[in-house]
Structure 1
């Protein structure tokens, strides 16, 4: 007999915010109908599919509201217009929960295009919460199947994630992270013949991490995340340096867990990405 776990509304919202079942590798390789995605999340969270759909709509509305606020600024509108994208492009974002975030930089970018009204490229979010660089190598067939004309890659935070009671077993050594990043860049640029924009992981807050994950099975070390950001810059010298941008941005750019960017942090990331891509035009 299965015993349902009670979830608070806040816990359900948090889970849905960072969980995109459509991006899960198994469900991309063996697709199911749209209604079953809501059913799956509902079963996991002990609620109804209707409540899941309402949560997703609410998060989408929040992302659109954030985009609308950004579009009131002429500098943001100009940066959006300066992007080197064509209407027939397919811009594919590959990453972990920071990219999968329904209030995140890529969803706000998509909402911005929709609200701006001009012809826009297709934006495909392949963010999967928890993914490491090795996980994306494993699902690279799905990146290829998305037919990207440009890839935006943000990985590394989970390479620095540590497991075990003492938090002593890191998901990837720094040498493994470097090897995986080099392989991913080569696969995109050489095999797919597609331009790639690489983003470093954003900075984390050790004090918040220590409090939030005190009794949990995983944790992060701020020095390990900094080390990964350095490797990203080594492999891709012109990577978007989100680590440096968020390290000195203030406490409001992170959620209470000290790892995930807040909506303000996500919008900072978006602005940095727009500036970088516009400068490359």
Structure 2
């Protein structure tokens, strides 16, 4: 434990919600066991591995309970059973923190789908851009997907700097990276792909939450990324448009970027509505 650091349980939970060291590219290429990951996370959070394990388990339990409540709804249950997945399919989600979220849309989907129907693998990594996903394509290949759910782009629009802010990727770079990923997934892996635009963000909340930080976003830039995705992947699920126009109060966390657990339920329903037509 680092005596110079002190975190509240809420801060630790927030960190663990989005941080999956087992999905970090270097630790996928050179894997360590579960105890090693627990120790690594515990060291980061100045706590003990038992606390980390308990917090992660609590979030998994919350997720399963939410999925069980959703499955009690006939419409939702029908949407899940109507998914175009078959036994033996490996459905892999790849993206950033919105996908990596332990209380997020893909974890809810994984908790809702009968394990006998398909295997679901979450390869979301917080902070990833389209370039990062392209760089770790080998980890996607190793997951042997038959169907890839790709939601990426929010961090391409991320800004760094104070007096002068620089965007992580230009429109041209995002378009090139996304086109490359789609080509690699469909032709090299032979997998089906569903591309999803990132959800809309809340500028007022972003400005308030990141006011003193050297990092931020603009709603305009995220919308621009969504437009690029629509151009490259015309059949993409347009989550950005759906959440820009119809997101209810409580859709986003206080930072204005990450969906709340309730927001993730809305995201999953939007995705199911489109996947069921495939």
Task: Tell me, yes or no, whether TM beats 0.5.
Answer: yes
2: CA distance between counterparts of 1:68 and 1:4?
42
Matched ranges for 1:1-281 at <5 A: 3-114=3-114, 119-166=116-163, 168-248=165-245, 249-280=247-278
Deviations 1:24-65 (A, max 9, x none): 001000000111111100000000100000000111011111
Residues matched between the structures, number = 277
Q: Aligned to 1:181, what secondary structure does the other structure show?
A: helix
Contact 2:129 2:156 in 1 (8 A): yes
Deviation of 1:120 (Å):
2.4
RMSD, aligned α-carbons: 1.3
Q: Aligned to 1:134, what secondary structure does the other structure show?
A: helix
2: CA distance between counterparts of 1:264 and 1:246?
13
Deviation of 1:3 (Å):
4.8
Q: Aligned to 2:122, what secondary structure does the other structure show?
A: strand
Deviation of 1:247 (Å):
1.2
Q: Aligned to 2:156, what secondary structure does the other structure show?
A: coil
Q: Aligned to 1:91, what secondary structure does the other structure show?
A: strand
1: CA distance between counterparts of 2:117 and 2:41?
30
Deviation of 1:228 (Å):
0.3
Contact 2:81 2:113 in 1 (8 A): no
Gaps spanning 5+ residues in structure 1: where? Answer: none
Contact 1:167 1:219 in 2 (8 A): no
Q: TM-score, normalising length from structure 2?
A: 0.97
Contact 1:70 1:76 in 2 (8 A): yes
Q: TM-score, normalising length from structure 1?
A: 0.96
2: CA distance between counterparts of 1:122 and 1:4?
42
User: More displaced, 266-275 or 90-99?
Assistant: 266-275
